[in-house]
A = this chain, B = another copy of it.
Amino acid sequence: MTVDHLAIAVHRLSEAVPRWEQQLGAAASPPEEVPSQRVRAVFLDVDNTHLEFLEPTSEDSPIARFLAQRGEGMHHIAFAVPSVDRKLAELASAGVRLIDTVSRPGARGRQVGFCHPSAFGGVLVEFVEARP
């Protein structure tokens, strides 16, 4: 099991990301729109994983709701798996509560699926298709 990325919710990518780039000495990717989650995402590569910064693109985005309730901060952790659908099915059959029972398109052209935060004691966990 590999941590694919750690996601951080921010109000504005243009304000948040340069600070991380400068203080960590790492460079971020160009922003990408992810319509299924109503966010704009930027990835910052560190040596062993990625940080994903998420800015809402609409007021009903899950990230807009998160920011309104909790402010900027860590939003979810994503693990890479060979098949998201298989992982979700395995968890569902073990009685684990899920947000997505089948995968959907995420950032970087990869399928993703989210567990309910109660499934991992308050931590929002995403599974994302491993790179081929």
Is B1's CB under 8 angstroms from A25's CB? yes
Tell me, yes or no, whether A36 is within 8 Å of chain B by CB: no
Q: A26 — nearest CB in chain B belongs to which residue? A: B1
Q: Contact check, A23 vs B122: say whether CB atoms are below 8 A apart.
A: no
Among residues of B, the one whose C-beta sits closest to the C-beta of A125 is B23
Can you list 26 A-B pairs, Cβ within 8 angstroms, ordered by A?
A1-B24, A1-B46, A1-B47, A2-B46, A2-B47, A2-B48, A3-B3, A3-B46, A3-B48, A3-B49, A6-B6, A6-B77, A8-B121, A8-B123, A15-B121, A23-B120, A24-B79, A46-B79, A48-B48, A48-B49, A49-B49, A70-B70, A73-B74, A73-B121, A73-B123, A74-B123
